Structure 1
Amino acid sequence: MTVSSGALANLSTVMRWGAWSLLLLGVLMSAAAHLRLSSQPPRTAPTPAQAAPASAEAVGPGGFAVLYVAAYVEAGRGTEASLARFFPNMRNISLEAKPGAQHADQLAAVQVKDVSDGYWSVTVAARITASPSARDDESDKEQAKEKEEDETGVLRYFQVPLRSTDGDGFAATTLPAEVGAPEAGDGIELDYGTPVPGDDKDETVTTIARFFSAYLAGAGELDRYLAPRTALDPVSPAPYTQVEVAQLAELNGDYRRNLPASDGARRQLLVDLWAAAPDRQLRPLTYALTLTARDGRWEIAALNAAPVLTKEK
């Protein structure tokens, strides 16, 4: 087939206009996309969440006093500012001791007394050890005498008066006062009967022993000893290799061996254990338990938070 020169010219014109049209369309689409993206707010990387520092209100008077005593024991000449955040009047006091000469460990608020509304007296126990540099000026004889004491530390007690502040925080009203150990309280009476030794022939003792073997020593499945709707996970990693029931007592009466497990029956026991650690050292442990009966057997319904105290008469 023969194509005339006029037809070729017309085809060339159509192709040239088509190319220009495609080019113009591409420019318009690019501009539209740019305008659309520009109208959207810029994307920024999310700021990592930062943990808020614990407030004095969350710490409480006892916790605040512990922090204060820890800073007080280690403070010295030139570090008075470290105490000003606990005791505002510290700005007017100078210390003479060498900073860091002593260190406090194992601090705990052992007594909190209400003096008045918003005012407390807190007694803090702290194990105080001397730093090696603090003994540089002592004689060899004195160093030898105090070396063992310095290495293990001495348990000392500090009384701290605290008041609440306008910002729901706390402030000390004076420097700590060193005091003697608080008096030990009277013996606590529990509302359980006379303890009896654990007996392997007692089915209840056998259940309790197997339960604690699973709970503390990782021996067997724990769920098989739990009552329905009782959720409890074993201690992990298992701290002991063997558990034995030493003795047990029953709430509101004497413990009865091989008590029939009538459906719906309930028992509350105080159980003393011997638990053997991997190094074969035995540790005594005491648990308050609630047992319930189902299908002719006793099951663990709860590890109680605390044993039952004798009611005051």
Structure 2
Amino acid sequence: MKINWGFGPPKEADGGDSGSREKPASSEQHTWTGGSQLATRVVVGLLWAALIAGPLALALQMLMPDSRPVVRQDGYVDRIGEAAAVSEFAERAVVAWLETPGEESDALRAYFGDIGLARPDIPWTTGGTAVAEIVKDDNGLWAVTVGVDATEGELPADVAPAQEPPEEPADGETPAPDDAEAEPVQRVTSGRLYFQLPVLYVDGQMIAQALPAPVPAPGEFDQLASAYDHGLAAGHPAFARVANFLNAMLVSGDQASLEAYSSPGTSFRALNPVPYAGVSVDTLVATGGEAPAEEPADGETAEVQANVTLSGSNGEQLGAQYSLVLQAREGRWEVARLRTSPALAEPVPIPAPSPVTPPAPGTSTSEGTSSQGPTGTPSDTPTREGGSDPEATGSATESP
């Protein structure tokens, strides 16, 4: 005899199904058991999916390319952040070297390691430090030139300055004869001084590879020829247009007037707060060898430079220059752009690359310093990080 446990319809005594009679409704036990089986299948499926996903994720991780930054074969990397860190370190090191007295010389080991130090008892005072130049040297070190306003320490009134012994020529050398016409050497105790400092940078750690070396100030260079070659008369319409534009931007602070003298689509802004009491345009000079038309055709452009005089509230005056691009609309000139640099008549010179000598292998010393920097692949020319030369003709942008 077969017992029906509630998993199906009752069967006939002979084992056959009763096809002709109506099937009874499913019992509560049947409903609960079917739901439990479904939940079991779902859980088992999730477990199998988890087991498969683990090895699959590991395989994908191994096959995916490395996400680290790619370095070119020539050894070039983006050194903007590195140069900024080295510049800041060099400024602090030079200031500490000048301002630290002899009794506190141990504080300089953080910058210079075990390099021998000769320290004054009365240190210098400094201010206005700035990096004048930073280049990547051919031996892998950063060479930083730091400018600083320095003043020699003053001795107490009751202390006499030490007398320096006269210089004696080295053995085997003949002293140079005195030049009676030579001007006496002028020595200063306060002024702008420049120091060059080699800095080793490795994985965010920095140390000076030598003491700061006083060097001459950066060389001066003659200005390039300007492209502005034709002066405009004071009665030229462009002259008054530029004068009104600058007055609205610098003196009155009237944004509506500023927009009235500007080309459509520009976004010039008046100074706020206004720092000047007056502005006058002394001369207006244009490029092209001739003055722009007084009644220009629509779309015609002209490049001009305004030499102006600004007046403060105290009556003092200050000169300034603005390079502008004018554009004609409806027969009048309007300011279309303020150039970031003037137009030039000659290109900016590009220095020729200097030959590079492969560096000698470095030798380690104590305190983690070395006599040579890392022997990485040098570049063909020193990499200047402080900035890049401007384009030959300058770039023109609208004011913010």
TM range (shorter): 0.5 to 0.7
Cα distance between partner residues in 2 of 1:170 and 1:224: 55
Q: CA 1:173–1:260 in 2, change beyond 3 Å: closer, same or farther? A: farther
Name 1:158's counterpart in structure 2. 195
Higher RCO (C-alpha under 8 Å, 6+ residues apart) = 2
Name 1:225's counterpart in structure 2. 261
Q: CA 1:63–1:290 in 2, change beyond 3 Å: closer, same or farther? A: farther
RMSD value, Cα: 3.1
How many residue pairs match? The answer is 241
Unmatched 5+ stretches in structure 1: 1-54, 142-148
Name 1:72's counterpart in structure 2. 97
Q: Secondary structure at the match of 1:210?
A: helix
Task: Say if 2:124 and 2:150, in contact at 8 Å, map to a contact too.
Answer: yes
Greater shift, 263-272 or 182-191, is seen at 182-191
Task: Say if 1:160 and 1:172, in contact at 8 Å, map to a contact too.
Answer: yes
Name 1:214's counterpart in structure 2. 248
Cα distance between partner residues in 2 of 1:192 and 1:273: 15
Between structures 1 and 2, the one with greater strand share: 1
Cα distance between partner residues in 2 of 1:190 and 1:74: 44
Matches within 5 A, 1:102-113: 102-113=124-135
Between structures 1 and 2, the one with greater helix share: 1
1:112 partner amino acid:
I
Once the two structures are TM-superposed, the CA of residue 102 in structure 1 deviates from its matched residue by 2.2
Cα distance between partner residues in 1 of 2:104 and 2:160: 30
Name 1:57's counterpart in structure 2. 82
Matches within 5 A, 1:192-207: 192-194=228-230, 196=231, 199=234, 201-207=235-241
Q: Secondary structure at the match of 1:222?
A: helix
Cα distance between partner residues in 1 of 2:85 and 2:294: 47
Q: CA 1:119–1:94 in 2, change beyond 3 Å: closer, same or farther? A: closer
Task: Say if 1:197 and 1:248, in contact at 8 Å, map to a contact too.
Answer: yes
Cα distance between partner residues in 2 of 1:234 and 1:140: 59
Once the two structures are TM-superposed, the CA of residue 61 in structure 1 deviates from its matched residue by 4.3
Name 1:307's counterpart in structure 2. 342
Cα distance between partner residues in 1 of 2:336 and 2:108: 50
Once the two structures are TM-superposed, the CA of residue 277 in structure 1 deviates from its matched residue by 1.3
Once the two structures are TM-superposed, the CA of residue 109 in structure 1 deviates from its matched residue by 2.2
Q: Secondary structure at the match of 1:211?
A: helix
Cα displacement string for residues 239-268 of structure 1 (whole angstroms, at most 9, x for unaligned residues): 2111111222223x2351553232111222
Once the two structures are TM-superposed, the CA of residue 123 in structure 1 deviates from its matched residue by 2.1
Unmatched 5+ stretches in structure 2: 1-79, 162-187, 350-400
2:193 partner amino acid:
R
Cα distance between partner residues in 1 of 2:326 and 2:107: 53
